[in-house]
Amino acid sequence: MTVTTITTTPFLDQKPGTSGLRKKTTVFAQPRYLENFVQSLLDTLPEVAGKTLVVGGDGRYFNRAAIQTILKMAAAARVGRVLVGRGGLLSTPAASVIIRKHKAYGGIVLSASHNPAGADGDFGIKYNGTNGGPAAESITNAIYERSRTLTQYRIATGPDIDLDTLGARALDAMTIEVVDPVADYADLMEHLFDFARIRAMFVSGKFHMCFDGMHAITGPYGHEILEHRLEASTGTVIRGIPLEDFGGGHPDPNLVYAHELVERMSSARAPDFGAASDGDGDRNMILGRNFFVTPSDSLAILAANAHLVPGYKHGLRGIARSMPTSCAPDRVAALLGIDCYETPTGWKYFGNLLDAGKVTLCGEESFGTGSDHVREKDGLWAVLFWLNILAVRRQSVESIVREHWRKYGRNYYSRHDYEEVDSAAAEQLVQGLRDQLTSLTGKSFGRYRVKFADDFSYTDPVDHSVTQQQGIRIVMDNGARIVLRLSGTGTSGATLRVYIESYEADVTQQDQDAQIALADLIGIAEQVAQIRKFTGRERPTVIT
């Protein structure tokens, strides 16, 4: 093999955010940009020589080209073996499954997840460790530091590798194994859930579902698992073919971007169950007939019903939720007598808790739910979990949620996103809040009184690492909360996220529209943070 050493100069902006390094595709595609980051990664993990790596992505534009580069650089770094999904495809949770099942040293996942794709869209790269989960901040920081002083990268020269035929081939001393992207993942799902029971529900002809693959990675997984293994009728999966530009859509499963599914679910002949996933397959949106389940409620409901599902019938060790996620799961944990952990936003903070056996289920308000079966959030897994519960309980989605509220109370919840606002103004808004933290405590706003206000800081219970400035919390005496933070996944400007929550135990008050139930708190958020002034926006871009 001929390895070429190429002289480079550092790019100073290669700092991974909430989930890997995400930039405009045009940034990634410029000469040396991807190469610099990959070399920084390989330099940070010199022990990867001789080991196995897993590589795959969500199929977006530049995925294939990036994989060819990564394979050639891995060969130059003397990596022993690389498992690649056929066509360069692997959903994020499937990559996690393959890393764990094949005891790989780690994996490189190419995705910008819910961000739009294409030549003028976004691209991303993320490193996962031996446990199958996103690398801890200590590693991503080390990669970033390395990238700032990089002077050269090494790459094998030679023709492109065939990624479309299953089987092993050699790139000099390195073996490349092209694997089925779906099989290992589907097998694990079959092991966790009662496929026979779910299949019987589909075959009865009395239960219909619609799954929106959003022309992103989960289409092939949905076809194999839902339509083939579970015998749901053909056509259950819509927009199931992965396209390089995701069909021009925004692969974010929320009420705005999954509007086709939302319309179907509110039509006269709506199916019983609707679900959607995001670009890389780790998110899930759950819908009943004319009924939206908030991700926070979904996590709480999965926890409360876990005993009905084979993979979880022996009970849960604990639950973890990200700080902005509603407190609904905490109430289930309290009743089950297990711990509920509150972590910063981003799946990497769940890894230690899962590895240490402290939690079984975890979730985020941003349509992410998962368990200790992998170390990523897992979209289809959540859908199958719901299907298993529906097959056992034989009730509608709505009646399951309403029963849950009657028993545990309802956490009214909403997130308001202000996308692509001016970065400096967004920073000023946050700084303005930090300056008010002390004076806010004890202050009254109408019927609310602030119990405490802080900038969330997290001490990992396993390795005791401390992560600071993870979001402004304004917590009221009655437990209602306003949380504000800036996104760490955007690629242009800043995105402000405002999370609003209040608890309602009274069954007669549980049927309001969330925006109405939360109107006072939304007003307080505006009053305290001066969102309109700083963002220059009259209303949020997306309301969930």
Q: Is 515 helix (H, G, I), strand (E, B) or coil?
A: helix
What is the end-to-end Cα distance of the chain in Å, rounded?
53
Task: Please give the helix or strand (H or E) that residue 303 lies within, else none.
Answer: helix 295-305
- Region of 178-186, 342-350, 511-519, 531-539 interacting with ligand VG1 (CB under 6 A): 342-350
Give the residue among 435, 444, 505 at the shortest CA–CA distance from 476.
Answer: 444
Which is closer to Co ion, CB of 282 or CB of 372? Answer: 282
Q: Compute CA distances 131 → 103, 134, 364, 376, 512, whole Å.
A: 9, 9, 20, 10, 43
Site for ligand VG1 in 477-516 (CB under 6 A): 487-489, 497
Question: How many angstroms separate the CA atoms of 151 and 6, rounded?
Answer: 9
Contact flags string 305-324 toward ligand VG1, x per CB under 6 A = -----------------x--
Q: Which is nearer to Co ion, 122 or 330 (CB)?
A: 122
Q: Does 388 bind Co ion (CB under 5 A)?
A: no
Q: Catalytic pick from 19, 91, 113, 502?
A: 113
Question: Which two three-digit tokens encode residue 351?
Answer: 């890894």
Q: Does 364 bind ligand VG1 (CB under 6 A)?
A: yes
Rounded-to-integer distance, Cα 233 and Cα 272, Å? 13
Select from Co ion, ligand VG1, none the partner in contact with residue 122, using the beta carbon and a kind-dependent cut-off of 5 to 8 Å: none
State how far the Cα of 502 lies from the Cα of 213, in Å rounded to an integer.
32
Tell me the closest approach of the beta carbon of residue 111 to ligand VG1, in angstroms: 7
Interface residue with ligand VG1, options 39, 284, 366, 491 (CB under 6 A): 366
Q: How far is the CB of 140 from ligand VG1 (least distance, A)?
A: 14
Closest separation in Å from C-beta 494 to ligand VG1: 10
Q: Are residues 445 and 527 in contact, defined by beta-carbon separation less than 8 angstroms?
A: yes
User: Which range touches ligand VG1 (CB under 6 A), out of 145-153, 222-230, 344-352, 454-462?
Assistant: 344-352
- Min dist CB 20 to Co ion, Å, is 10
- The two beta strands, 444-445 and 448-455, are antiparallel
Q: Judged by CB under 6 A, does residue 388 bind ligand VG1?
A: no
Tell me, what DSSP letter sits at residue 246? G
Of 368, 370, 471, 540, the one binding ligand VG1 by CB under 6 A = 368
Nearer to ligand VG1, 48 or 276 (CB): 276
Write out the binding residues for Co ion, residues 235-294 only, by CB under 5 A: 278, 280, 282
What is the chain's alpha carbon radius of gyration, rounded to the nearest angstrom? 23
Which of 122, 212, 224, 278 binds ligand VG1 (CB under 6 A)? It is 278
Question: Is 415 a residue that touches ligand VG1 (CB under 6 A)?
Answer: no
Q: How far apart are CA 216 and CA 188, in angstroms?
A: 21
Q: Please confirm, yes or no, whether 439 is among the known catalytic residues.
A: no
25 binds ligand VG1 (CB under 6 A): no
Residue closer to ligand VG1, measured from CB, 43 or 282 = 282
- What is the nearest approach in angstroms of ligand VG1 to the Cβ of residue 259? 19
Note whether 282 binds ligand VG1 by CB under 6 A.
yes
SS3 527: helix
Q: Tokens for 140?
A: 């991503």
Q: How far apart are alpha carbons 95 and 128 in whole angstroms?
A: 9
When asked if residue 193 is in the footprint of ligand VG1 (CB under 6 A), the reply is no
Q: Does 363 bind ligand VG1 (CB under 6 A)?
A: no
Taking alpha carbons only, the member of 319, 482, 497, 495 closest to residue 413 is: 482
Q: Which residue has the tokens 């989930």?
A: 19
Q: Which residues are catalytic?
A: 113
